[in-house]
Amino acid sequence: MKILTGSRIREADRYTIAREPIDSIALMERASESIAQWVAGHVRPECPLAFFVGKGNNGGDGLAVARMLHRAGFSCAVYLAFGRDELSEECRFNLERLPRGLSVRPMAEASLPEGTVIVDALLGTGVRGELTEPLLGAVRRINSSGCRVVSIDLPSGMFSEFGNAGRTTVRATTTLTLEFPKLALLLPEGGEAAGEVVVLPIGLSEEYMDRAESLYFYTDAAAAARLPLSRPKFAHKGNCGHALLVCGSEDMAGAAVLATGAALRSGCGLVTVHLPRSERVSVHANSPSAIVSGDPEPVFSRLPRDMGRYDAVGVGPGVGQDPRSFEALEALLRAGLPAVIDADALNMLSARTELQRLVARGSILTPHLGELRRLAGDWASEDEKIEKTRDLASRLGCCVVVKGAHTMVCSSDGRCFFNSSGNPGMAKGGSGDVLTGFLAGLLARGYEPLAAAILGVYLHGRAGDRAADYYGQEAMNAGDLIDFLSEAQQEIFGRDDG
């Protein structure tokens, strides 16, 4: 799904109105029906609804939704931040359509009885500059209310893309964003205030959306379902790819166990794990399907024999940074295999930058924010972080996967794909090891690097969501992700099979 930014958002709106038999009021009606349906399905009918309404089209959406939900039997009250004369044409039109019996009052008179759900329709994508009164007061009132808050399109006050650090905005429980998620909802600067993000389709012109240029994309289930490779009927273990994992050391053999378990769920034909010989039993015991290559030292010190056998390598989790491992990493990179590079292998690339030139094009780097800082340099804002990630991806000819909520996959041509799946329960040691093993398996299996990164990140997140459903976000751990990778794939492969 494409994410449009800035002026393109308004252009999409205008294009749809100009080319399709729909005017701006009807488009607002379509958006509002989608929003009203979501609220009706997710809010108990006895909860009072308080609509905080601004003067632009976001307010117009709020008014149309209030009308629809009042008719559906909800107890609705509308609170206006501005006088009638100040409202946009569409907003005023929807104010006039409110049925008698639906209470409309100035914002100052807002009353929020226990259990009220606030619908935030003060500001959407039209927000400019600093918030001033009366909007500032309205935002503060919402935030101090303790009520559940459903924001329409964006939490009011939030810019659609960048510049939200330290900004006062509504803090939403849920944001119902129209047609595609606005970029700010996916970035840490503003995303925390958005709560749960739900994308509601409103039928903007498909022709426009296809043609519109954008560097930003959202990986939802439909986008992920277009990626899986089919498995040939005459497949055998020798032609489905052989993944090599270089993971673990004497003190961190668990990283190798996790990465191996995940690689074995990727569909590749063979998985070989290279780790200190003293630790080989840990892999044999947990993953009898894997082959083990034993390193005679307690750290990664040399290459496995016959590197020509492997199609891709995953390196880094738990390997440490022993001086012997720097030499071994250099030899591994010189072998030229497409690699998934994580954890200590990334740190070694940061410590000895000349090694970066040896990274095979088409590799995948999977830094968390600390590792990204060490590799790409620090940043002062979200847009600078994205630019630095793009520079790194383009310089190395690799995909860079920046891990976090809405993990971002940046391709070497500068496109950024934000992930929709996953949850905070995955923020635990070992989750990254699982991702590295799984991505290495997908690369070996024959996926193009960008497809492997996007699909792998999405499925890893879905496995996390399944694990959270089963164990809860607090109790789930990285090992659980491996088990749920199979269910996550069935969701996607099932879709593909029709």
Ligand X SMILES: NC(=O)C1=CN([C@@H]2O[C@H](COP(=O)(O)OP(=O)(O)OC[C@H]3O[C@@H](n4cnc5c(N)ncnc54)[C@H](O)[C@@H]3O)[C@@H](O)[C@H]2O)[C@@H](O)CC1
User: Does the footprint of K ion cover residue 120 (CB under 5 A)?
Assistant: yes
Distance of closest approach, residue 207 Cβ to ligand X, in angstroms: 15
Are residues 55 and 91 in contact, defined by beta-carbon separation less than 8 angstroms?
yes
> Looking at beta carbons, which residue is closest to K ion?
156
Binding ligand X (rule: CB under 6 A), the pick from 3, 13, 260, 453 is 13
Shortest Cβ 153–ligand X spacing (Å): 4
What are the backbone dihedrals phi and psi of residue 410, each rounded to the nearest 5 degrees, phi first?
-105, 125
Q: Which of 1, 152, 247, 434 binds ligand X (CB under 6 A)?
A: 152
Q: Which of residues 170-209 bind ligand X (CB under 6 A)?
A: 178, 202, 204
Stretch that binds K ion, among 26-34, 108-116, 120-128, 320-328 (CB under 5 A): 120-128
CB 34 to ligand X: min, Å: 10
Is 174 labelled a binding residue? no
Determine the interface stretch with ligand X among 49-57, 206-214, 284-292, 473-481 (rule: CB under 6 A): 49-57
**For residues 170 and 457, which CB has a smaller minimum distance to K ion in the complex?**
170
Nearer to ligand X, 31 or 186 (CB): 31
Site for K ion in 140-159 (CB under 5 A): 151-152, 156
Report the residue from 52, 53, 58, 183 that binds ligand X according to the rule CB under 6 A: 58
Rounded CA gap, 470 and 234, in Å? 36
Distances (CA, A) of 265 to 30, 329, 403, 445: 42, 26, 21, 11
Type of residue at 498: G
How many degrees, rounded to 5, is the angle at CA 384 between CA 346 and CA 414?
Answer: 70
Number of residues that bind K ion (CB under 5 A): 4
- Residue 59 marked ligand-binding: yes
161 lines the binding site for ligand X (CB under 6 A): no
Residue numbers of the site for ligand X (CB under 6 A)? 9, 12-13, 27-28, 31, 54-61, 88, 123-132, 135, 152-153, 178, 202, 204
Q: Which residues define the annotated binding site?
A: 57-61, 120, 124-130, 153, 156, 255, 318, 368, 403-407, 432-433
Q: Which residues define the annotated binding site for (6S)-NADPHX?
A: 57-61, 124-130, 153, 255, 318, 368, 433
